[in-house]
Structures are given as C-alpha cells and as structure tokens.
Structure 1
Amino acid sequence: MAIVSPNFCAPYPIELGIVRKVMTITDGNFAVTDVNGNLLFKVKEPLISLSDKRVLLDASDTPLLTLKENRVSLHDRWQVFRGKSTEQSDLVYTLKRSSMFQLIKPKLDVFLGINKEMKICGFHVKGSWIDRSCVIYAGNSDVIVAQMHKKHTAQSILIGKSNFSVTVQPNVDFAFIVSLIVILDDINKEDSE
C-alpha cells in the first residue's frame, strides 16, 4: 500500500511518536519519531500565510508532500501533492468531510489521486480531538490501517506539547498516515475555534 513511497512501508507494525507543540514561534510544530526517538518527519508551516499550506519533510529536510486546504470548501477539502508541487498532475490524494454537518467526531473521506470521480473513498478517518484519538480505515470498511492514541507526559502539561502514539499496520505507508493526522489536527483546531 505505497502511497508516498515504498520506503515508508514495512512488513511489520510501525509505532510512531508524534509531538505537537501547542505554542511555537518556529515554522513547524510537528515532529514524528520512531520508537527509538529517531526523527522521521517534520511538518513545516508558514507563520503567516494567506494560503493554508503545510509541507511534510523527511528527517533530511526533503519535501515529501504539500498539504493544501481549499478555504472556500464547505467540506474542509484538502489536496495533497508530491514534493513541493501544487500541480494537479502531482496530486496524491484529496481529503474531505463525508458531510458538511458533523458535530464532535469528524469523519473524513480520502480519495487517492487516480480516483477522479471521488464516489468511493480509498480510506476514511474518524477522530475526536476531545478524546485525543483517531482511527484510519481502509475504504468504507472496518479494517483498521492505523490508530492514534494520546500519551500523557509531564512535557504535555509543563511546556505545551501534545504527545501521540500512532500504530501503523504492516505494509501501510506511514508517511501517508502522518499526513492524514496533520490534516485532522488542523480540522479539529478549526472546529474548536
């Protein structure tokens, strides 16, 4: 199930740590590590920008994906592109709410770039920021491909960091999963405002 790259698919479950800084003055607030604390990904976002765009970088600062929100959409529509591109030919996937009216727990549908008609989703995401958890499913099934859980640490209370643990199932592209969680975080921040 390589969506970003086969390099991000493993034949065994992958455990990721995600640290989200609540307050930051730098240009990024996400860091993603493996179980040993080695940096795998980070997210770069502009401090001030007219467009809502983020870039998922690998540990060596190579841009993997550009995540771009369509601000005029009623469904919280995001488009995700390869590298730093925003060209339709580089579209990896589109994500949107499954309906405009969702209260506490958003349900998001993910359509891979080759699915131009967007009638049947390739993945769906259910998450609640109140519960600090989300589950990512294959298609419209109940097959879980990844699951996120909140980790409570002293850092989260003392210095404004949210820590999450993400379990990604075997042969699932974990860079793709990280990009979904970054978008879910943004959607949930907007919902709480």
Structure 2
Amino acid sequence: MAIVGPQFCAPYPIELGIVRKLMTIPDGNFAVTDANGNLLFKVKEPLFSLSDKRVLLDASDTPILTLRENKVSLHDRWQVFRGKSTDQNDLVYTLKRSSMIQILKPKLDIFLAQNKEMKICDFHVKGSWIDRSCTVYAGKSDGPIVAQMHKKHTAQSIILGKSNFSVSVFPNVDFAFIVSLIVILDDINKEDSED
C-alpha cells in the first residue's frame, strides 16, 4: 500500500513516536521518531505565509510532502502533494471532513489522487487530539484498520509543554502517509479549539 513511496512501507508493524511542541519554532513543531528514537520526519511551517501549508521533511531535510489547506472550503479540505510542489500533477491525496457539521469528533475522508470523482473515500479517520486517539481505516466505513494513534503521558508533556503520541502503523501501510494525516488532524484540532 505505497501511497507516498515503497521506502515508507514495511512488511511488519511500525511503531512511531510523535512529539508535538506546543509552541511553534522555526525548525517545526513536530518530530517523528522510530521505536529506537531515531528521527524519521519533522514538519516545517512557514513563519509568515498567506497560505496554510506545512512541509513534511525526512531526517536529512528532504521535502517528502507539502500539505496545503484550502481556506475557502467549508469541509476543512486539504490537498497533499509530493515534495515541495503544489502542482496538481503532483497531488497525492485530498482530505476533507465527512460533513460540515461535526461535534467534538472529526471524521475525515481521504481520496487518493486517482479517485477523481471523490464519491467513495479510499481511507477514513475517526478521532481527535481531544479524544487522545484516532484510528485510520481503509475505505469509507469501519473497514480494516491501517493505523492507530494514542496519547502517552510523560514528564516532558507537563514540564516542557510537549505532547507525546505513539502511532501503530500496520504491516505494508505507508507510514509517511499516516504521519501526514496526523499532522492535518492536529491542525484541524487547533482550529476547532479556537472557534
């Protein structure tokens, strides 16, 4: 199930650690590590930009994905592109809320680039930061689970203003894709908490 690339798929479950710093710094506010604590990804946000976009970088600062929100959409619509591109030819997937009115628990539908009609989603996310967990399913309804995120409570979360999460990515599932979904879910949560 390579969505971003086969190098991000493994034939065994992958455990990821996500640290989200509550204050944004120039180097980004997300760090994603493997089970051994090795940095895999970080997320960079432009300090001053008219567009709401983030760039998912690997450990060597190579851009993997650009995540861009459509500010005029009522469904919290995001488009995700390869590398630093925002060209439609480099579109990987589109994400939007399942419905405009959602109370507390966002439900997100993901449509891969080749799914042009966008009638039936390819993946579905349920949960939120507020719930301290979310689940990613293949297909529209509660189909096969491909990843799950849970909050971890640590001393760092209290003292240093960091939120720690663990993510279980199932075998043969693109973990760069899963990380990009969690970054978008975080942004949606921040917007919901500001409303």
Q: TM-score, normalised by structure 2?
A: 0.97
Contact 2:128 2:185 in 1 (8 A): no
Q: Give me the identity figure in percent.
A: 87
User: In the TM superposition, what whole-angstrom CA distance separates every residue of 1:109-139 from its partner, at most 9, and x where no partner exists?
Assistant: 0000001110010000011222211100001
Q: 1:170 is matched by which residue type in structure 2?
A: P
Q: Which residue of 2 aligns with 1:59?
A: 59
* 2:101 match: secondary structure: coil
State how far apart, in whole Å, the 1-side matches of 2:23 and 2:159 are. Answer: 12
> What is the Cα-based RMSD across aligned positions, in Å?
0.8
* Residue correspondence of structure 1 range 167-186 to structure 2 within 5 A: 167-186=168-187
Contact 1:111 1:118 in 2 (8 A): yes
* 1:185 match: secondary structure: helix
State how far apart, in whole Å, the 1-side matches of 2:101 and 2:61 are. Answer: 37
Unaligned runs of 5+ residues in structure 2 are none
Report deviation, 1:23.
1.0
* Residue correspondence of structure 1 range 138-177 to structure 2 within 5 A: 138-142=138-142, 143-177=144-178
Establish whether residue 72 from structure 1 lines up as the match of residue 72 from structure 2.
yes
Q: Which residue of 1 aligns with 2:123?
A: 123
Report deviation, 1:28.
0.5
State how far apart, in whole Å, the 1-side matches of 2:79 and 2:39 are. Answer: 25
Q: Which residue of 1 aligns with 2:44?
A: 44
State how far apart, in whole Å, the 2-side matches of 1:27 and 1:57 are. Answer: 11
State how far apart, in whole Å, the 1-side matches of 2:154 and 2:96 are. Answer: 32
Q: 2:7 is matched by which residue type in structure 1?
A: N
State how far apart, in whole Å, the 2-side matches of 1:39 and 1:81 are. Answer: 22
For these two proteins, the number of residue pairs brought into alignment is: 193
Contact 1:66 1:80 in 2 (8 A): yes
**Runs of 4+ off more than 6 Å:** none
